Chain A
Amino acid sequence: MDDIKQKLLSKSKQTTEDRRGKILCYACLSLIIVLIVSILYFIINRGTATFTQNYLSLTQFLTGKQWNPGHHQIGALPMIVTSFLVTILAAILATPFAIGVAIFMTEYAPRKGTKALRAVIELLVGIPSVVYGYIGLMVVVPLVRKLIGGTGFGILAGTLVLFVMILPTVISLTADSLKAIPVSYRQAALALGATKWQAIYKIVLRAALPGILTAIIFGMTRAFGEALAVQMVIGNAVLMPEGLGTPTATLTSQLTSQMGNTVLGTVSNNALWSLALVLLLMSLVFNLLIRVITREGVIK
């Protein structure tokens, strides 16, 4: 009797097992939270020092055009504008292309073809940004120079390099979201007499719209944070961009090229961390956008 009673009253083996598993998960969870919070705290702390310790004005930072932190001029507007321009242009270039390829992968291609294409696209992710930058310097910049004149360095060259760099991300995420649309949707459309394109365009693409938008924003996030490759082709002059072919600078390019030359704790160094803070805030905005899109993600 006691045996059974004890068995019924004590926790079963399954429960302890489950508990242990849960504890493991929570441990990992807290670890990652600690990691993230520490890095966020660190960047915010350093990034705001420009304004809280050096007492430079935030308005000047966001609207000024003169960047010379050594002389307390911290107008970051040219970099912010350029960062946005290259990111948006790269996304505009990549989107139709990526959607086309993703449709091919999910709707037209035989399975083997899709697999091969995917493998190669994944390969692209592994090419270091330095190599992209190098090819950009050797091939893209001279090409741009021939096309629109000037030195070839600038927004157009940066856009083209970023376009190639974000392609893998955008393509594979778009393909994923197309694949997630149930076959029955397509079958229903075809059964109603729609052509294949009509089924894709009117049903599949529309249903996958939130996913596609997410893919694009993910691509943009990657473009926004890319440093080494852009630095090699953008020209690195902190000037407002006057056209697609004039040298200018992005937030990341400035950050990368200046960090080693400044001393921790000086105004010049703090100003650079403020740039990093802007990058952080921008990725936050991009992420919130994704969140909003996926939440509203119902077929209209």
Chain B
Amino acid sequence: MNPKKTSRIAKHVIYGSVGLLVILLLFLIGYILITGLPGMSWHFLTSVSQSFEAGGGIRDQIFNSVYILLLTTLISFPIALGVGIYLAEYAKDNWFTSLLRTIIELLSSLPSIVVGLFGYLLFVIKFQIGFSIISGAITLTFFNLPLLTRSIEDAFRAVPLDQRQAGVALGISKWKTIMGIVFPCALPKILTGVILSAGRIFGEAAALIFTAGQSNSVINYANWNPFSPTSPLNIFRPAETLAVHIWKVNTESILPDAHQVSSGSAAVLIIVILIFNFGARRLGNVVYRKLTATDKER
């Protein structure tokens, strides 16, 4: 067979596999949306869920998911940034760094159920925080950290060396070079990393079942005092997220409309992640342009 023919065949095979992937994606997303969207209504999105009667909604679950996501990111981002900078800029290539990387990766590959049980025994029981948003957020931090650290480190490494040389040549301290020059350049990539990990947090159920809990307390959205037990902002109240709700409805629910609620929730979840993805990408571009004073998008 001559090389040209092989090249053509290879191209077709590759296009074929992409086609397959696209079909698979369309099927998955289509399946979720088609089963979920018919049951969708304003009522479904804005009412509280029911224990065993039909007609429940997912208002609190949506809020909880977003709130836990924000808290987790808030806790894990500074830590991950520090470790990422260390690994990319300061770390020497020795056994310690190697060991550090290995255990960080190890943390990311732990099954989420194990992390969840650890969080349960430590935060919920030992520290007596109880089933709460904060227990959930800290537990999620555990496996958000490795992912985030890795993507931040990669983002920093991708910035060309010249940028740092330029900074140092101007007599700025290394730290300032990192924060003032390298960080803004790495920001779009960092944001992508944050989005990716956010997607995983948003869809995580196993780690939250035992930490944030699987039921909601009564929430009053007019109450913005974060220390009141009925306030949505209270971080010590138990909170069921969307993904946990899907899990619960699928496994133990006796709702007559369980099927609808679960597929509706799944559809909402996908749509939220979609919005989140595109929104954050936009934001990344805007921030990047502002920080680096460029006019064009990257």
Contact = CB atoms under 8 A, between A and B. Distances in A.
Quick check: do A and B touch in the complex, using CB within 8 A? yes
Interface of A: 13-15, 17-18, 20-22, 24-29, 31-33, 35-40, 42-43, 96-97, 100-101, 103-104, 108-109, 117, 119-131, 134-135, 139, 164, 167, 171, 194-198, 200-201, 221-222, 224-228, 252, 255-256, 259, 264, 276, 279-280, 283-284, 286-288, 290-291
9 contacts: A14-B176, A26-B86, A28-B86, A32-B79, A104-B15, A126-B273, A128-B269, A129-B206, A256-B113
A35 B108 CA distance: 12
A226 B250 contact: no
Contacts of B109: 221-222, 224-225, 283, 286-287
Given A134-B250, A197-B7, 14 more contacts: A18-B175, A21-B174, A32-B145, A97-B20, A101-B14, A101-B18, A104-B18, A108-B15, A126-B200, A197-B10, A225-B112, A280-B114, A287-B105, A287-B109
A195 B10 CA distance: 11
Contact of A128 (B18, B86, B205): B205
Interface in B1-55: 3-4, 6-7, 10-11, 13-18, 20-21, 24-25, 28-29, 31-32
A27 B202 CA distance: 28
Interface stretch (B56-64, B96-104, B224-232, B288-296): B96-104
Interface in B56-97: 78-83, 85-86, 90
Interface string B120-152: 011000000000000000000010010001000
Interface size class of B (residues with CB under 8 A): 35 or more
B110 A280 contact: yes
A122 B102 CA distance: 25
Contacts of B104: 32, 36
Contacts of A20: 175
Given A14-B173, A104-B14, A283 B110 contact: yes
Given A36-B106, A291-B102, A128 B7 contact: no
A29 B113 contact: no
Contacts of B178: 21
B171 interface: yes
A128 B267 CA distance: 11
